Structure 1
């Protein structure tokens, strides 16, 4: 089963808005949110890592990045998102990361639209560095489909 097929199974309760290469777009009814989501290129047997870009109309949030890492990171380890020549420092919890503010979210989404791939790098809780890589083909279309799925709501 492909990574996207597995991800689609996990998201069955959500209304699908479309699939675009390795990215899917979905709408959750309550609370209303729409999002584009993909799994990393490399398979992870015991983890469910993903990258998503979400819109939360009730909160006035649009194109907010969320990364679920493939493993727990070391305390105080930096998390860096790389897209082409651009580097973004992310805020992070144990196994999640996000942009520090809306301006950075907007810059990341713009870079995703123009990029071919992105990687999220950090130090694992075991002290070994790791990176989760994502193909960006289809990301822009999925992000647009997610934004349209929540437009006017």
Structure 2
């Protein structure tokens, strides 16, 4: 069910990171709703897990390609960095809210991306992903449309484990 969407999104992520690559990311494995991927960047490797929403609201609008990912970039000393990618431009100076069960995290926005507002909370968000049951992301488009996305957390722990030793 998720395979084609995740593979398409994995190709998109290479484009949005601003890295010109001659190769498509390699899939490490698929773990239910979450895929684990890697690609070479310079002299190092980038590994990440990625999932697409299972629910998009409001239902009657074109959301484009949306996904949530967590990346490992050992050569850049980046460990488990969460990121949201909307299929549209986000409202300037808006926040993206990631809610896992009853815990909420705030992301700042730039263009169509959201990153953790407080980098010190990144490990807490990753821990919540591992132990959580439900993740919802709320955002506001450039036009002011309030959107929300529901993600399955089935397989996220196994996917994160698969990229833990990325080198």
What is the TM-score normalised by the length of structure 2?
0.80
Instruction: State the alpha-carbon separation in 2 of the partners of residues 38 and 45 from structure 1.
Output: 18
Q: Who is 2:142 aligned against? A: 125
Deviations 1:83-139 (A, max 9, x none): 111011111112100113442110100000111121111222222211122111101
Map residues 63-78 of structure 1 onto 2, 5 A cutoff: 63-78=80-95
Runs of 4+ in 1 over 6 A off after TM superposition: none
Question: 3-state SS of the aligned residue for 2:161?
Answer: helix
Instruction: State the alpha-carbon separation in 2 of the partners of residues 129 and 36 from structure 1.
Output: 26
Q: Who is 1:26 aligned against? A: 37
1:14 is aligned to 2:25: yes
Q: What root-mean-square deviation, in Å, do the aligned CA atoms of Structure 1 and Structure 2 show?
A: 2.0
Unaligned runs of 5+ in 1: none
Structure 1 contact 4–38 (Cα < 8 Å) conserved: no
Q: Who is 2:156 aligned against? A: 139
Map residues 94-113 of structure 1 onto 2, 5 A cutoff: 94-113=111-130
Instruction: State the alpha-carbon separation in 2 of the partners of residues 45 and 89 from structure 1.
Output: 24
Instruction: State the alpha-carbon separation in 1 of the partners of residues 150 and 3 from structure 2.
Output: 14
Instruction: State the alpha-carbon separation in 1 of the partners of residues 63 and 143 from structure 2.
Output: 16
The structure with higher relative contact order (CA 8 Å, sep 6+) is 1
Unaligned runs of 5+ in 2: 12-23
Instruction: State the alpha-carbon separation in 1 of the partners of residues 158 and 104 from structure 2.
Output: 23
What is the TM-score normalised by the length of structure 1?
0.87
